[in-house]
Amino acid sequence: MGALAELELLIQSRYPLIAIETFEEGRLQKALEEVTSSLRMPFWVWTTTSGLAKVPALNNMYDTHEPLKALNSVAAMTGEGLFLMKDLHRYFERPEIVRKLRDVAPQFTMVRRVIALSGAKVELPAELATLAGFFTFGLPSTEELRAIARKVIETLSREAPVRVELSAEEFDRMVERMSGLTAFEAERALTKVILRDRALRHDDLELLVETKKELLKKEGLLEYLAPEENLAEVGGFDVLKDWLWKRKKAFTREAKQFGIQEPRGLLLLGVQGCGKTLVAKTVAKAWGLPLLKLEIGRLYDKFVGESEKNLEKALGAAERMAPCVLMIDEIEKGLSYSQSAEADAGLSRRIFGRLLGWLQDRKAPVFVVATCNNISQLPPELTRKGRFDEIFFIDLPSRDERGDIFAVHLKKRKRDPGGFDLDALAAASEGFSGAEIEQAVVSGLTTAFSRSVELTTGILLGELTATRPLSVTRREEIEALREWARDRTVMASTPTPAAPA
């Protein structure tokens, strides 16, 4: 059901009060004008600066700036009517205002007479909450944003020619990039992009994302991450790469027309340092989507109720950035969930419950990549199907993968992998994680520089010999993790066949 239909249903249900939360007063007023026109109801608007005025005539009623006088005038009217009172919720500390609303409520339910209260946040006193319907007036739909884009192009074209160098698919993608912005923000962002060179081309799509990045900075709950290497440049993970490659185009218009559902997310379980976070970062670049990072620890606040509000803001911000990739790194540490612990008065449980609900019910195309090192700290509800599309286990790299990882990190540091004995390095790094292999290359470069020589295979072998990998120092934990994952997850890499006896 669309926003206009929902508003119409609330009015037809004869609620005396409707609390409407929105950042866009002007857009809400236009929507209510459409609804009341369809219902053939009179429409009035009140603000504390202009008083009560009938729309569209906008003839202000005399002496109605003061809220109680405005309510008295509303109560004295007969017949149907919708009264949008934009500032009234700011006066609820006055008992006579609350009392007057309670007095008029019974007569309003007899006919279609409704007082709509609008604001970014509308909190009603308990006495009024039971009388009211609640509605959140969402951000512009895709069709509204497409109309806004066409209007901006048409308006600017009257001043000087505007070159639109976008295909139909690219235009749709641009509209998607605008999702999550208010109508005002979308108009300003697109106008700014066009006025740079009086053109609209493929490269400008990223400039629209920059506007969203600035909004994220203001809220301070999500972090916008720069893209990493392409997925093809990451060593190993052949099964996981194939899974991701098949879904690369799942966010396109063609996929929707074909009947493909947008992928929801992955839970990456594995040995620490084996590339879970790196994979999350490369997915966004491979799919051409913005990458956001949520640290659950940032949500917690010392004041009652603020942590839950922070989570809602963070999830809302992610939906405004959609389509996007949302990375939740080391999710088990942030939740600290325990069935019996009540040390935080149930806060972790409430945070966890809301996050579970969002993972299950979200409609926005937000692809969630959650990483986890210790599955024992995660409740079973998080790992069942529906929250994530799949659970992948990322094990220590095989011999061939270790050779690929050495090649990747040598290339990153402007060394030709062909000048190194990758087979010898792969054999010597048995039990090493990807992060530990990278650190061996870094340490080898430091050693070579200190000796005023070039990096060699021998130096790298020396670095490998001088350290003990995590698979040795925490062998028992890793074996327990592998045992849990064996029949419960999909291996991110094809298992290496056992050597013949």
Considering the segment(s) 399-485 as one domain, its CATH architecture is: Orthogonal Bundle (1.10)
pLDDT number for residue 500: 44
Which residues have C-beta within 8 Å of that of residue 195, sequence separation ≥ 6? 156
Is residue 215 scored above 70 in pLDDT?
A: yes
| CATH of 142-219 given 1.10.8, 2.20.25, 1.10.10, 3.90.550 | 1.10.8
- Model confidence band, residue 373 (pLDDT cutoffs 50, 70, 90): confident
Is residue 97 scored above 80 in pLDDT?
A: yes
Place of tokens 């008083």: 51
Q: Which pLDDT tens digit goes with each residue over 130-181?
A: 999 999 888 888 889 999 999 999 999 999 999 999 988 889 888 877 877 8
Which backbone phi and psi does 374 adopt, to 5 degrees? -130, 95
Would you list the domain boundaries of the chain? 3-136, 142-219, 225-394, 399-485
Which residues have C-beta within 8 Å of that of residue 76, sequence separation ≥ 6? none
Is residue 230 scored above 70 in pLDDT?
A: no
Cα 387 to the center of its chain, rounded Å? 15
Is residue 359 scored above 80 in pLDDT?
A: yes
Asked if 3-136 and 399-485 have one fold, the answer is: no
- Model confidence band, residue 304 (pLDDT cutoffs 50, 70, 90): low
Is residue 220 scored above 80 in pLDDT?
A: no
- Model confidence band, residue 303 (pLDDT cutoffs 50, 70, 90): low
What CA–CA distance (Å, rounded) separates 267 from 56? 53
Q: Which helix (H) or strand (E) holds 266?
A: strand 265-270
β strands within 22-120, DSSP E: 43-47, 51-55, 59-60, 81-85, 113-119
**DSSP β-bridge partners for residue 366:** 324
User: What mean pLDDT is reported for the chain?
Assistant: 85
pLDDT number for residue 334: 61
pLDDT number for residue 451: 94
Nearest to 400 by CA among 244, 238, 277, 241: 238
Q: What 8-state DSSP symbol labels residue 385?
A: B
What CA–CA distance (Å, rounded) separates 101 from 121? 19
Q: Which pLDDT tens digit goes with each residue over 233-265?
A: 666 788 888 888 888 888 777 887 888 888 889
CB-side neighbour CA atoms (13 Å) of 42: 15
Is residue 210 scored above 90 in pLDDT?
A: no
Q: Output the CATH code of domain 225-394.
A: 3.40.50.300
pLDDT number for residue 228: 60
Considering the segment(s) 3-136 as one domain, its CATH architecture is: 3-Layer(aba) Sandwich (3.40)
Nearest to 224 by CA among 294, 328, 141: 294
What separation, in Å, do the N-terminal and C-terminal C-alpha atoms of the chain show? Answer: 65
Q: Which pLDDT tens digit goes with each residue over 264-299?
A: 899 888 877 777 777 877 788 778 788 888 887 777
